[in-house]
Structure 1
């Protein structure tokens, strides 16, 4: 007989139903030690009063991990807290990294050990209870990183998208510049370089602002995304959690700093505020997440001067903590509710 434990939310109304957890059942948070997003969700889970286990992958060597054909476990060497993988109720794969202590290993072994840890983490995740809720499943996450696939799915759902070309050919790039008044450059994947110390942002290019010939020639070894430049009235960061949609308006055009890319943050001059989406746009956002098999993600859109909504991309692990802090949108509480919800 499976023993069930009952957890009551102390902040809920007296008529609210309690959460039922099986004995030893836990929510697993796969993240890193310095992640404010996870901190906010941890606070929300504590407020609800349900058991969870935080696994900081950058400190993985501080845990004892055991995996077999029948399951496995993770135990914190610091607290002796343990989670059994076969009893994981839901898992939030927020951040993955190799142990930071690898920087102290001899150079000749770092690449080898990084590969071992990356594969080991994949094996660990594959041992999790098959009926667990994934936010998000690693396979869905990998598929969703394909930006061309995202754009095709969005267009198929009736969302407007920019014309897009992904190329490593300098001659194609020059042809695009000659055909369009202005184009936007974006990296194909992660924009972080120099061990996380720098970021590559979207850049506006026209015939008068061509990069140097050396940079153009370098495109051959650096495939890049080029899109038609869309004039903006403002931008939207739309965080979808389950069936809930949290839209934030980013008034990026109020500052020259963030005019092309709002990630060049200018918080003193760029207002962030809650926004209400047209019902049709909201439904298409939910349909997009469903098509991509994502339970959570951050969608970026432009609203043009003609009030057209243009989809740019979705990030399955997109940042949202600053949006919550600036707008009060209860994103972390909704993620906590989603993780509690399966049973």
Structure 2
């Protein structure tokens, strides 16, 4: 199978990280095609034929046509969702489902293509309970954790393991008075737990008395670790208060990183760790579509080049 065709980048129009990688690939004279699922069907069409060798056919965007059999790698970032605003509610629901399983299924079935990451594997890894269980299997230290809808279980866990943090299991768009916001990580006491916990699922995790945070970005077989110093419980709430420094993970952490990705069939991951006062690294989460490009100008780490190497298939 040819690996000299284009890199296919699947993401929304406003994606500065993808822009950096595409610019690097262009500078290397590597062909790139970019699409967003939200462009379908207005400016994106496709035809895929099942053959004894797999799917053959083409994807056509507003600017180019891509041969499905020649795509060397697919960088699956953050595409917008399918939308059919011109249809009735029932028709739009039907059309969306057909698009997801049709175009989505074709994009996920490219023979000889390196996925960074495969959309189905991303979906698997985005379930936090699955990620935490995989982290234990991979050999990470993981704080005591409870996922529950039982107020009694939550109170008992906090009493036994306190101090305990509440963390959302996912981070959908949340609006308060029309303003977009996020559900923050926060410390919670047993006295705050009431019957509202029974209304949905919640994640509670023993708080690590940390000296710093570390973001580790794994791109193929390359590991980039950045220590993040702040006085914040959740460093993502105020980037202006962060200080960055390049660090080397302990050997057992490095080997666990690659085992974790292998468990999910991933080649990229953005890992978050809390480092305690004794220097122990505690796994918090891995985002299979996490952000990373802002760390390069802060540290000088060649992360854009590493991602371009992977997509160009200079490494695997």
TM-score using structure 2 length:
0.88
- Deviation string 1:239-266 (CA, Å, 9 cap, x unpaired) is 000100011111132xxxxx22111124
**Closer/same/farther in 2, CA of residues 282 and 182 from structure 1, 3 Å limit:** same
**Correspondence for 1:41 among 15, 21, 45:** 21
**Closer/same/farther in 2, CA of residues 140 and 108 from structure 1, 3 Å limit:** closer
**Closer/same/farther in 2, CA of residues 198 and 58 from structure 1, 3 Å limit:** farther
Partner of 1:85: 68
**Closer/same/farther in 2, CA of residues 265 and 103 from structure 1, 3 Å limit:** farther
Matches within 5 A, 1:79-228: 79=63, 81-99=64-82, 102-103=84-85, 105-107=87-89, 109-128=91-110, 130-194=111-175, 197-207=180-190, 210=192, 216-228=194-206
Partner of 1:298: 270
Partner of 1:31: 11
1:73 matched to 2:51? The reply is no
Residues 186 and 202, structure 1, Cα contact 8 Å, conserved in 2: yes
Task: Provide the C-alpha distance between the structure 2 equivalents of 1:103 and 1:197, rounded to a whole number of angstroms.
Answer: 22
Task: Provide the C-alpha distance between the structure 1 equivalents of 2:127 and 2:82, rounded to a whole number of angstroms.
Answer: 27
Secondary structure of residue in 2 paired with 1:197: strand
**Correspondence for 1:272 among 241, 244, 248:** 244
Residues 46 and 58, structure 2, Cα contact 8 Å, conserved in 1: yes
**Closer/same/farther in 2, CA of residues 326 and 223 from structure 1, 3 Å limit:** same
Give the drift of 1:170: 1.8
RMSD between aligned residues = 2.4
Give the drift of 1:219: 2.4
- Deviation string 1:190-234 (CA, Å, 9 cap, x unpaired) is 3433499222121111246x26xxxx4332232011111111100
Q: Matched residue pairs, number?
A: 308
Secondary structure of residue in 2 paired with 1:58: helix
Residues 135 and 283, structure 2, Cα contact 8 Å, conserved in 1: yes
Give the drift of 1:91: 1.0
Task: Provide the C-alpha distance between the structure 2 equivalents of 1:276 and 1:97, rounded to a whole number of angstroms.
Answer: 35
Deviating more after overlay: 285-294 vs 85-94: 285-294
Task: Provide the C-alpha distance between the structure 2 equivalents of 1:159 and 1:243, rounded to a whole number of angstroms.
Answer: 18
Residues 32 and 59, structure 1, Cα contact 8 Å, conserved in 2: no
Task: Provide the C-alpha distance between the structure 2 equivalents of 1:239 and 1:47, rounded to a whole number of angstroms.
Answer: 23
1:283 matched to 2:283? The reply is no
TM-score using structure 1 length:
0.82
Matches within 5 A, 1:325-340: 325-340=297-312
Residues 154 and 190, structure 2, Cα contact 8 Å, conserved in 1: no
**Closer/same/farther in 2, CA of residues 58 and 319 from structure 1, 3 Å limit:** same
